[in-house]
Structure 1
């Protein structure tokens, strides 16, 4: 048995788990790239075999942290350097749940090509990272991969078009990475890319004077009523302005209360069964879907918002046990942090319409307080920004890297479980 069978303690190696979304042509969530970043909170101690430590923690992430389950139907792309490629630990990963992303630093030697062929025979899917060339010396590795990731930031539009013409005859899936704008995404799609990586879909585009859709206005009004603890009859009246929303609420409540002997047929009964806290959470998530009924495909923006909200809630519970109000506010901050992107209006305008607690408003508008630090931490985790993660953790006593990794796995699992009738759990 190799040394990997005796893994170093996850806390000592100080690896942080991050993830970046990978989308399909219709901007539906397709996969995540999982980022494992080494930190220095343990005093900067060097690990004797950094590659082995990284490999072991990655393997542990799929067992102890349950990342494989947390990914749900989505695969996790994992960076693989030369040493990790030849590590025994790599074969401990679940083939069906991961894509091995061969880094651009790996030269396609005979040994490397033989190892890649062996991993493919074991059932692993291979991708090649940061491709900006397709010359003869590199083609054998490209031919072994199923997915080719092209770094669009390093290429001009003309260079990108020329490279795609070289890659298309290989018959591989093309993934455009480091896509920062919707315009870049559209250009890459026109060239034939099937997959796209980056946070272009989560960048807020503020439109001055934009009018919200009737559905969004209704949802914001309902959220405001719940936050103000309004009378049930007033909440009922607001629901009746959106018949599709009312039907979905009744369907959801009957699903949640399926063990009851009496079916729920009235709004008042549904509100009573769900409870106001659960109803508020459902409405917060429903903002990111189509509230009119019909198809409710989970959008990547909803996935990101739901993961943020749940992650912040779990971090609040861990850092301040027993403070339910803080945990609820943390969830609200996470969900609301992406509303400017969703609604294309400034956060200040959104806050004017919702009577949120002062701590929530300060976190969202200025990043102040413990909630603002948790949001900062959450955003840093998403991008795998180790320095920012460490800075935020120092301001949140009681949280360790291990706590963060475990909470992220749980948040991903919760977000992946969301559907038409399961947005309350």
Structure 2
């Protein structure tokens, strides 16, 4: 048997060191991979509750294709993690939640957790349980089992036969024999009717490097993509509801004296409709620069804001207001590599930006690319680059300097 191939996987920072996600193949009787179990192997995250959060954040922002292709995804969970909002960030069709047993299976606890498990299955998630779900104490959970794992490292051969027989008569679950280390174990469970297998005899877990967004960054990126794709208000509202600080900031903005409203706005739906997608995008983009990954200094976000405003002011002298809006975005996002702690191309890839905007960011192409070079020259004091870019755009040094002063003042005002 050969180990499953390691797939390079790098995402975004959680404010420092990357985390390690391990994956191990789950095979069928034809020795083809049908899924992968994912679990946290980070030395920096020690709590069990962090496992499912780490994995689901990774999946929701990298896409399942990068980690497991089109296979099933088996994810270790804790009962505490099952009600987290991160479960809303992934498509449940190919996700199998591995539900652990309770430490002491009291009847009332089993029944108390039943509604959560039922709701997850109704949303489309598949549920997997260990062989303890076949105990009488867990009878309420058994009808929910899509998969039951038989741990071959702790079960005696006669126990395995009994459990397989019982599962076949009392559930519709597919059985997975896990921790298979020998051909003899494989042959034994195969003859008893098990059709899915996992263990060192097939493949050892492979480690995949992963850096994940903090929840605040993740939500803002998701919001930006929804607004950019002109999603409806309901979809945008759903994202805002998952992040209390994000919703609070929006309501504070919408009710501020600066918008000149005559009545208080009390719902997120009202706020979204009143602000409009254009302003909402700008607000979220600005907010992203204020969210610290832990690696970026506070000045980086401020520089990005000033750079975006400078490019917008200069673009207004050359282009339409709509195109100037795009110039603002280019300047604001030009420091995403430092803000998110990842290569700029990877950061841009997280956002659904127009091709011209991406080209300006990554290759300084077009008018906005030249404006970016000019803004960078203003910051660095590179006179030669300043002169070349200004001349190419037909801007005088007086125009650029005046816009730069306005941009600095504006940046200071919104940071106050």
Query: What range describes the TM-score normalised by the shorter chain of this pair?
Result: 0.3 to 0.5
* Superposition TM-score, scaled by structure 1 size: 0.46
Select the structure of larger CA radius of gyration. 2
Q: Which has the higher contact order (CA 8 A, sep 6+)?
A: 1
